[in-house]
Amino acid sequence: MNGIFFALLGASIATALAGVGSARGVGSAAQAAMGVLSEDSSKFGKMLVLTLLPGTQGLYGFIVGFLILVSGGVLGGTAPTIGQGLAYFAASLAIGIGGMISGFAQGKAAVSGIALSAKDDSNFSKAMVSVTLVEIYALLSFIVSLLVVITVPNLNI
């Protein structure tokens, strides 16, 4: 018996949960941006940047999921042990849960930033800083997941 099931489950969780956070965050921001653009289409570039920022969590989750599939033996190579499969699963939880929650939060921050920029274009940089601050927590989750995934093949469990 090997740990491929747990590796597959981990890859799915990393990708799906972080993707849900990004989809919801980008969706909320896009709704707010469309409202602004209906009044002033010249703000498209700035609205696009603020709308895209919550999408990074989904990308981080996809990268971790892909690395689990590659290093976990799913796409060829040696199948992981049950312990290694569980370690891949554990690695997926950091970016899955962290990415989902930060995607929700970054979407809310982006909506507020869009509203701020809509009233006064000179506030765009302030909005960007506020929205980007949430990204730090997605990056921390991503780094932890990435470090665990890279370490798993060397674990004797």
What's 127's domain CATH number? 1.20.120.610
Q: pLDDT > 90: what percent of the chain?
A: 86
Apex 69 CA angle, 56 and 100, nearest 5: 30
pLDDT at 145 exceeding the cut of 90: yes
Cα-flanking dihedrals φ and ψ of residue 151, to 5°? -80, -30
Q: What is the pLDDT of residue 77?
A: 79
Q: Within 10 Å of residue 151's Cβ, how many Cβ atoms?
A: 12
> Mean pLDDT across the stretch 94-103?
97
Considering the domain boundaries, does residue 64 fall inside one? yes
> Mean pLDDT across the stretch 45-62?
95
Q: What is the pLDDT of residue 99?
A: 97
| Number of domains making up the chain | 1
Q: What is the pLDDT of residue 121?
A: 86
Tell me, yes or no, if the pTM score tops 0.75. Answer: yes
Q: What is the pLDDT of residue 72?
A: 85
Distance CA 47, CA 157 (A): 48
Tokens of 41: 């289409």
Considering the domain boundaries, does residue 65 fall inside one? yes
Q: What is the pLDDT of residue 75?
A: 84
Considering the domain boundaries, does residue 123 fall inside one? yes
Considering the domain boundaries, does residue 157 fall inside one? no
Q: What are the counts of helices (DSSP H) followed by strands (DSSP E) for the chain? A: 5, 0
pLDDT at 140 exceeding the cut of 80: yes
pLDDT at 32 exceeding the cut of 80: yes
Q: How far apart are the first and last CA of the chain?
A: 13
The residue range of the domain holding 49 is 1-151
